[in-house]
Structure 1
Amino acid sequence: MMSSFPADGEKHSAARRTGGIAAALAGVMAGLLGIGAAAPAQAASPAVTTGNVNLRAGPGTNYPAVGSVPRGASVTIYGCLSGYTWCDSSWGSARGWIAAGYLQVVQAGQPAAFSPAVAAAMGLAVVGFSQAYWNTHYVGRPWYGQWNRYYRPAPAPVPPRHYGNTKCVNGPNGGGCVNRGVTVGPYGNAHGHTRAWRN
């Protein structure tokens, strides 16, 4: 009795032919429509450290140090948090997070001050941090199994708060008022103010 199924070698050969044809057609269609099948990966950016700084296992000083990077070391930035406060970086074979205040990017072969505007102009990716990153880079580290001890979700910003009082006085030559107060910003920074006026 003869089988109506192709032999294993024929089956794989036919799959390769149809798979190759399908891939070629998809490439032609993507080219004609001006679209790509997948977006290209973001390029890494060279940078230099401005001081001795810890390469951390996460974006914050509460994460363990992966290593200590010396001032003037060449590092690679793969992306930064949306506020450009911490950047996913590598130094040699070590991967981790460096506080952005300790980085200078390299533009046209020269170090340039790192800022959100410079990072955006360079096309530096905005990246997030998750347990998947931790699991990819830190298996085998002594603190690897302690994710819950270190991970702290970013707190929601607190709207600015205003505190103060106004005192008014009236005297024989007229009166006036003084308002003294303080404004506390979303990250705890405060500034005082005084306003005075005559009645």
Structure 2
Amino acid sequence: MKRLYKLVVLAVAALAPLSALAADGYVNGYVNLRAGPDVRYPRVVTLPPGTPIVVFGCTNGWSWCDVRGDGARGWISANYVSYPYNNRRVVLSTYGGRIGIPIVNFVLDAYWGNHYRNR
């Protein structure tokens, strides 16, 4: 029974949603939230400065971040993400590694299927 309990706990921990790792940040200028990590992806919405966002992670090198803001999920340039660090707001493109922002991968079909289905 103990073994089964341990396996269940381990399985639940492994399947915990990525949002549990999410962190709060803010948009530091007008920025287009895009459907992928590049300016070639369609614009989902434009976020104004000061918009609170949830940061799920950034691409390797912290150039683009997967975020939720203003009810929409998508990608914004890390240059436009301010994040609290040492009692001040810093830009993730510079501080992402020091802060320990998770690195996430972008897989087009999976991401679009999860976030833009029926749009």
State the TM-score bracket (shorter-chain normalisation).
0.7 to 0.9
Quote the residue 1:125 is aligned against. 102
Q: In the aligned structure 1, how far is the partner of 2:74 from the partner of 2:88?
A: 24
Q: Residues 71-110 of structure 1: matches in 2 within 5 Å? A: 71-107=49-85, 110=88
Quote the residue 1:64 is aligned against. 42
For structure 1, the residue ranges without an aligned partner over 5 or more in a row are: 1-20, 142-199
Q: In the aligned structure 1, how far is the partner of 2:56 from the partner of 2:5?
A: 29
2:29 aligned residue (51, 55, 58): 51
Q: In the aligned structure 2, how far is the partner of 1:98 from the partner of 1:64?
A: 12
Q: In the aligned structure 2, how far is the partner of 1:43 from the partner of 1:122?
A: 13
Tell me the alpha carbon deviations over residues 103-143 of structure 1, each in whole angstroms, 9 at most, x when there is no partner: 11123664223235x323333111111110111000122xx
Tell me the alpha carbon deviations over residues 29-63 of structure 1, each in whole angstroms, 9 at most, x when there is no partner: 899xxxx5544656111111111000000001111
Give the aligned residue type for 1:127.
V
Give the aligned residue type for 1:76.
V
Q: In the aligned structure 1, how far is the partner of 2:87 from the partner of 2:112?
A: 32
Higher-helix-fraction structure: 2
Kindly indicate whether structure 1 or structure 2 has the higher relative contact order, using CA contacts under 8 Å at least 6 residues apart.
Answer: 2
Quote the residue 1:193 is aligned against. none
Q: In the aligned structure 1, how far is the partner of 2:27 from the partner of 2:118?
A: 27
For structure 2, the residue ranges without an aligned partner over 5 or more in a row are: none
Quote the residue 1:155 is aligned against. none
Q: In the aligned structure 2, how far is the partner of 1:29 from the partner of 1:114?
A: 37
Q: In the aligned structure 2, how far is the partner of 1:57 from the partner of 1:115?
A: 19
Question: Structure 2 vs 1, CA of residues 28 and 110 (structure 1 numbering), >3 Å: closer, same or farther?
Answer: same
Question: Structure 2 vs 1, CA of residues 25 and 46 (structure 1 numbering), >3 Å: closer, same or farther?
Answer: same
Task: State the structure with more CA Rg.
Answer: 1
**Count of residues paired in the alignment:** 114
Quote the residue 1:114 is aligned against. 92
Does the CA-based 8 Å contact 2:28-2:50 persist in structure 1? yes
